[in-house]
Structure 1
Amino acid sequence: MKWAFVIFVLLYTLALLLLAIGTFGWFGQEPDPLSGVFLVPLGLPWNLLGDRLGLAGPALAILAPAINAGLLFLLWKR
């Protein structure tokens, strides 16, 4: 579980970095409205649950993968 947690956190960090680069146009990149698309599969099923509860928005897409990371961390330490 340690490797699953480490790989997931690396992918989550990379997705957040791509979101920031695409949103703010860092490194000469054009602003891209789809820059946060890589956060969606990392945050499943919490993205779908939050959407059905009416909590859809950028904060949900950014924080939903953190729930999965927390669950992986708990499974690793168990």
Structure 2
Amino acid sequence: MPALYLSHGAPPLADDPVWPGELAAWSAALPRPRAILMVSAHWEEAPLALGATETLPLVYDFWGFPEHYYGVTYEAPG
């Protein structure tokens, strides 16, 4: 499985008419991963902790965007 770095960009990229389709085509060409590790430089806490045992709400660590971006939810499995 390849190791990939994907910068998410700003929230408005999700509404871009081309970018999501490009990501979908790219991901369709890759094998399905058994696991995904996501690391964010936007979150700092001591001690560093990784959690994957329970579902937690999103943390909105951005500001200055249209209000609808702050209502996005993602019910990721724990």
TM-score tier, shorter chain, comes to under 0.3
Higher relative contact order (CA 8 A, sep 6+): 1
